[in-house]
Amino acid sequence: MSLTVDIHKQLGRFSLDASFRADGGTLGLLGASGSGKSFTLKCIAGIERPDRGKILLNGVTLFDSERWINLPPQKRRVGYLFQNYALFPNMTVRQNILCGIRWERDRARRAAELRRVVELLHLQGLEEQRPDQLSGGQQQRTALARILVSRPELLMLDEPFSALDEHLRDQLQIQMKKLLDTFDGDILLVTHNHDEAYHMCEKAAVVDGGRILGVRETELLFLDPGSVPAARLTGCRNISSAARRVGAYEVEIPGWGIRLATARPVKEGVRAVGVRAGAFSHTCPENRFPVSFTGHMELPFETQMCFRYEGQAETEGELWWSRPGRDGKKGLPQELGVPREDVLLLY
């Protein structure tokens, strides 16, 4: 099981340079809208044509600009779950699913395959319904059934949960994860939601400005994003505008007027520092500095506090501290600390 992508496409001023490898499991592509992640999927599916480069899936060349190979989407064996599921509105659930297996000549086999995916995705009793009669979750399952019945070698999910209501989303994520674990090909999942990427994907890569910034274990990516876009996309709210190396384990942040001790060695060329809103603590003895609070946002189970360091520059934006509990704005501390291992070095 392997997918190799190395493509380039110029779209007006925007240029896409997608280069990555996936071998087994679920790979998340985490990026803001317009970063080129959906476009990358379209190139892999054969809907869009890259200017140059190569796409290989399990040893089969899907696209190679040098050898003039460009397989049509019909021959790529790539399953594509669209954001809006793209069910054919003029067909029933059964007819929609059968569209995925029209190549199978044997009627009995076709019927058996239909039964298999209907059971796999719990669509029993919905076969004669039309898409507009289904709930969002049922539509998603129908679209997945239609893809799985075609036996793809690669599964691509484009923002699969964005069209769903929030209360459904978490539940469906858990179901989907179980289902994906039974799929034996590669899976690509495109999302802008860091929680979704964290839960669904073993590996993840950040997509920023048409570039894919290295595939990494999802946990490691969240632990040490390593770059400003990656920090932002993994949900880090406090990112300094600049940083300077002052010691092997010490970094200076001029904008915040402080120096932070780090757990990871500071390399030359560090560009910024990130601290997650949950990493600050008024009990932590490390990296303690005086702060003044400027505002707060109360949420059901936590309070988002806005603060500035004493020596913080005017140009630098407010920092966020997310404090568990509802009465977060009571008993404000004079100083806040940050554990060394939570100082994220961004290059």
- Minimum CB–partner distance for residue 91 and another protein (Å): 8
Residue 67 touches another protein, criterion: CB under 8 A: no
Residue 135 touches another protein, criterion: CB under 8 A: no
- Minimum CB–partner distance for residue 87 and another protein (Å): 8
Taking contact as CB under 8 A, which single stretch among the options 23-31, 143-151, 190-198, 280-288 is the one that binds another protein?
143-151
Q: Which is nearer to another protein, 132 or 327 (CB)?
A: 132
Listing DSSP states for 305-326 in one string gives: EEEEETT--TTSPPEEEEEESS
Taking contact as CB under 8 A, which single stretch among the options 84-92, 109-117, 223-231, 291-299 is the one that binds another protein?
84-92
Listing DSSP states for 190-211 in one string gives: EES-HHHHHHH-SEEEEEETTE
- Minimum CB–partner distance for residue 45 and another protein (Å): 5
Residue from the set 3, 5, 27, 45 that interacts with another protein by CB under 8 A: 45
Residue 133 touches another protein, criterion: CB under 8 A: yes
- Minimum CB–partner distance for residue 209 and another protein (Å): 25
Give the closest residue to 177 by CA, choosing from 157, 163, 205, 206.
Answer: 157
Residue from the set 13, 68, 74, 301 that interacts with another protein by CB under 8 A: 74
Q: Rg for the chain (alpha carbons), in Å?
A: 24
Taking contact as CB under 8 A, which single stretch among the options 145-153, 202-210, 251-259, 274-282 is the one that binds another protein?
145-153
Q: Tokens 């073993």, residue?
A: 202
Helical ranges in the chain per DSSP H = 37-45, 93-98, 107-120, 136-148, 166-182, 194-200, 218-223, 228-233
Residue 68 touches another protein, criterion: CB under 8 A: no
CA dihedral sign, ordered 108, 111, 115, 116: positive
Residues contacting residue 166 through CB under 8 Å, at least 6 positions apart? none
CA distance 36 to 211: 8
Residue 146 touches another protein, criterion: CB under 8 A: yes
Positions 25 through 44 that interact with another protein (CB under 8 A): 42
Residue from the set 59, 67, 90, 327 that interacts with another protein by CB under 8 A: 90
Residue from the set 76, 169, 216, 232 that interacts with another protein by CB under 8 A: 76
Residue 54 touches another protein, criterion: CB under 8 A: no
Cβ of 200: how many Cβ atoms within 10 Å?
23
Buried b (16+ CB within 10 A) or exposed e, 159-192: bbbeebeeeebeebbeebeeebeebebbbbbbbb
CA distance 306 to 197: 27
Q: How many residues bind another protein (CB under 8 A)?
A: 28
Buried b (16+ CB within 10 A) or exposed e, 233-268: bbbbbbbbbebebeeeeebbbebbebebebeeebee
Task: Please give the C-alpha separations between residue 277 and each of 1, 24, 191, 337, in angstroms, as whole numbers.
Answer: 39, 33, 22, 12
Residue 79 touches another protein, criterion: CB under 8 A: yes
Residue 73 touches another protein, criterion: CB under 8 A: yes
Residue 150 touches another protein, criterion: CB under 8 A: yes
Residue 117 touches another protein, criterion: CB under 8 A: no
Contact 309, 291 (CB under 8 A): yes
CA distance 154 to 286: 47
Binding mask 260-299 for another protein (x = CB under 8 A): ----------------------------------------
Residue from the set 67, 102, 105, 107 that interacts with another protein by CB under 8 A: 102
Residue 10 touches another protein, criterion: CB under 8 A: no
Residue from the set 89, 125, 285, 325 that interacts with another protein by CB under 8 A: 89
Q: Which residues in this chain contact another protein in the complex, by CB under 8 A?
A: 42, 45-47, 72-76, 78-80, 82, 84, 86, 88-90, 99-100, 102-103, 130, 132-133, 146-147, 150
